Structure 1
Amino acid sequence: MFAFIYLTFSTGFNQFIEQEEQKHVDAVKQQLIELYSQSNSWQPIEQNTLLWRSIVEQNVEPGVEKDPSLNGGGESAKDRQAKGKQDSPSPAFLWINLPPGSLKTGQRISLYDVNKQVIVGRAHLSDSPQVESILLNNNVIGWIGFAPSRLVESSPAKAFLTAQFYSYFMITLCVMLVAFIVAIVLSRHLMKPIRQIVAGTNALKKGDFSNRIPPLTQDELGTLSMNVNELAQTLEENQQMRAQWVSDTSHELKTPLTVLRSHLLAVQDGVFVPDEKRIALLIKQVDNLNHIVDDLTQLAHSDTAVFTYNLEHVDIINVFKSSLDDFSMRFEQQGLVVHSQSLQKAGQCIIKGDKDRLQQLFLNLLENACKYTNKGGQLNIEVNKTASDIELTLQDSAPSVSPEDQEKLFERFYRVEKSRNRALGGSGLGLALCKQIVDAHKGDIYLQDSPLGGLAVQMRFPVLEK
């Protein structure tokens, strides 16, 4: 910028000076022509040095007046020069208001006669860098030699350019220093959140998921810091869930294994007799283990997208009826009264789903209702159909579940120990499987209080357009 500005300025300033000096030379030529036309010779100038100075210099020294006859009784050459400046303003540097004679142009003008002999100024015409002829009625009456300001070492214009060069150079150094200081401050300001983000990601890489990055800015770096914090929180929660998963899995498997080991050791020591009742107990514990392993396998398959679904057009009402028929004997043994009139009147309802998975869903829910409802209780089944979806609701009687526990029942291995305890044989994976199946069918499943005093399970599935 310094080089560009200075080159632009010096070029424009030199053009401006040349224009001003050319105006000065033209004005001098005009006055010399008027003077020569009166005396038909250059003798007045040869005999009067002050006259020459009054012509070539714009400011007349005190006490020296110009001959009015030089101007033909009209306006002076100086007035015409000033008028010419007003009529033809310089295209650039109009803000510069040069005082008359400040360029000392008159000191660099020489006058020669028609034979190129010096009258005033340099001894030889060839010594002048710029030569112009003086014409009167298209006849050469003399010559003017002129040395432009840019070619003179001690000229005011060149001195002015030199002073401007040093001024611009100092300004450039100051600007560079300020820019350097601002760059350091700004880089530190920008690097501080970046260093924090790098430190935070390094902590995540080392497994420290509790580390958080304090957002220092409201820009993109602040957004990135918040995203890294959310990632750290997610990883921390996943780590805790993984640890809880391993702990719950080992605990669930340990219970039937402990029972199996204690009974087998008792049989080995002769404490228990391996009769039919004892063997049936051991088989029941093996079945519990097998049930837990099957649930874990299905959930693992669902998490890794291996849990396949054969989607087709399925009448969900018929699937529910079939599952309900399979549990009719269990309900009688438990003494539960099932109200399914709404299901019987629902008619056909086609959705896109997997019949086997839907049946698994309904069997799990009916198993929970049968297992966790007090004897002599009730089970109410409600069906609500709209043009876009179907809603199935299972409402059982006491015991109920608190709202806090309802939010956690879809978590794996979670059970309400007081009313739905491990003694009933549950693994705590049934509702987690149910949610996986409902989500795979693009449906929703909710838990809420039942009007019968127990728990209500509400499912909604999108239906196919007729």
Structure 2
Amino acid sequence: MSARFVTGDGPGSDEPPEGRTSPSSSASWNTIKPRPKGGRHYVTSLTMAFALTAIMTALVLAVVLAFVWEGQFMAYTRQNMQDIADSTAASISAAYAQRGELDEEVAAAAESASALSADIVVQVTAADGTVLYDDTWATAPSSSGRAPARVPAVAPTSEDALVSASITAPDGEVVGTVSMWALGSEALLTKSDSAFRSNSYGAVATAAAIAALIACVIGYFVSRGIARPIQRITSTARQIRNGDLTARSQVTGPDEVGQLGETFDDMATTIERDLKLEHRLTGDVAHELRTPLMAMQATVEAMQDGVLPADDEHLEVVAGEVRRLSRLIDAMLKLSRLENGTTELKVERTDLVYLVRNLVTSQHQLFHERGLHLRFVDDTPHGELSADVDPDLLREAIVNLMSNAMRYTNADGWVKVSLRQDHSDALIAVQDTGIGIAKEDIPQTFARFWRSDVSRERESGGLGVGLAITKEIVDRHNGTILVESELGRGTTFTLRIPLRRGRERSKEK
């Protein structure tokens, strides 16, 4: 089964990130800080927020009741009392029309209104101001206790505390007035009305208390549900910080917290892999340096002990190992400069067809000596394709890929270098029929000093930094590398290089 891998993130920057400053002369390091002793738990804060929201909602409702509902209620009670006064006045007017005069007997028709509520005072007066009926007479005993006192109740002076209706004769003449008000109230509210209003505000206060309690309960469980995965992520971060690189939060889900957990676990996996590669890198560097040093040491000691003669042949062995060390150090230095952005990128408009064809032609004899077939395939329109690149660095990247293909391809195998255009990018592919790369090893292909176990068994192994250098060169060109490989069938490296560089990237240091 073949596998594919792409490295490089497209447009990048050679400049350091904006706002980044050089490290100061002093530095410090500490483990994750413990929770502050006086700190408030997230669950408590969110629960209080829910409760405060419920209380504020109740307060808003109370304000609305005080300024809107209160006025509507007062208007409603006044209108009810006015309707009663109008009805009573109409009844007395009808009785007046039958009797022809307004007296106490006619005014007694107001008793029906008095029976509606003991808190309502009904008073009927003639046009000259004489009180003909007052329902307080029936409840106010005389000083002797045997006959009701005929002292009329005093009507309120405020218009808001009193309603009245005119008693009219058949010809429309006003012959009297029916007045009504509530005992002990300046707002036409009976005791039942006042009790209803008080109970309404009490119900709002009770509802606010219940709502706040329910909000606290809901807030507690909701905040616990939110805080639990965050606590798991925090605990996992603490484990990783303390050295357990295998710890994972296992927090997943479509929401933001779930995405945070998945991203955190991916980051932890990447850190674990990078640290393993770092440890492997240390061993690889030691191995790469130790091999030539041991060869030189053995040869020199043998010549010193007289086992080997100090002739040109054995001195050449030492010189060869020195050259190998020099090439390794030069490659590591070049890679470091590319990674740090200190290598100057000399961009110019370059004919890629000419560059790649000449490169293949110059390498043809070397491949022929190894018993390999090398050919160039030009898939560009009209045989022309130009791009803004550093020709020397791009040539080095292609040579690294060709050398890698030559090193791991058996005799009589094929290596094909092709060039084509894909929209605004140039695609340079190096395909071989070599040993291939295992699927699990492909993501590590561009790690410095890394070579698969299969390639390590071959005596033709290189320095192990060529592909890492190639990746950095492609990154500097804002490009990407695609790797496709199958064990025993071969590998294809494809460089995707933008044909043009943006204005902001065209000026190099």
Distance 1:192 1:185 in 2: 10
Distance change (3 Å), C-alpha of 1:242 and 1:464: closer
Q: Does 1:177 align with 2:213?
A: yes
Distance 2:269 2:219 in 1: 35
Distance change (3 Å), C-alpha of 1:382 and 1:146: closer
Cα drift, residue 287 of structure 1 = 0.9
Contact 1:125 1:145 in 2 (8 A): no
1:20 aligned residue: 80
Q: Which amino acid aligns with 2:249?
A: I
Number of residue-to-residue matches in the alignment: 411
Distance 2:376 2:87 in 1: 120
Cα drift, residue 22 of structure 1 = 0.6
Q: Does 1:148 align with 2:182?
A: yes
1:3 aligned residue: 62
Gaps spanning 5+ residues in structure 2: where? 1-57, 137-150, 501-509
Aligned match for 1:158, one of 188, 194, 206: 194
Contact 2:446 2:467 in 1 (8 A): yes
1:279 aligned residue: 315
Contact 1:415 1:428 in 2 (8 A): yes
2:463 alignment partner, SS class: coil
* Larger Rg, first or second structure (1 or 2): 1
Q: Which amino acid aligns with 2:281?
A: W
Contact 2:439 2:486 in 1 (8 A): no
Distance change (3 Å), C-alpha of 1:433 and 1:57: same
| TM-score normalised by L of structure 2 | 0.66
Contact 2:364 2:374 in 1 (8 A): no
Cα drift, residue 289 of structure 1 = 0.9
2:29 aligned residue: none
Contact 1:372 1:420 in 2 (8 A): no
1:15-414 equivalences under 5 Å are: 15-45=75-105, 54-57=109-112, 102-103=116-117, 108-121=121-134, 123-124=151-152, 126-128=154-156, 130=162, 132=164, 134-136=167-169, 141-148=175-182, 150-151=185-186, 155-204=191-240, 208-215=244-251, 217-320=253-356, 322-323=358-359, 330=366, 334=369, 336=371, 338=373, 340=375, 350-368=386-404, 377=412, 381=416, 383=418, 389=426, 393=430, 395=432, 400-401=435-436, 403-404=438-439, 407=442, 409-414=445-450
1:306 alignment partner, SS class: coil
Cα drift, residue 226 of structure 1 = 1.4
Contact 1:394 1:456 in 2 (8 A): yes
Distance 2:196 2:422 in 1: 90
Distance 1:341 1:193 in 2: 56
Cα drift, residue 255 of structure 1 = 1.3
Contact 2:416 2:432 in 1 (8 A): yes
Contact 1:390 1:462 in 2 (8 A): yes
2:350 alignment partner, SS class: strand
Deviates more, 1:178-187 or 1:159-168: 159-168
Distance change (3 Å), C-alpha of 1:379 and 1:131: closer
Distance 2:321 2:332 in 1: 17
| TM-score normalised by L of structure 1 | 0.72
2:176 alignment partner, SS class: strand
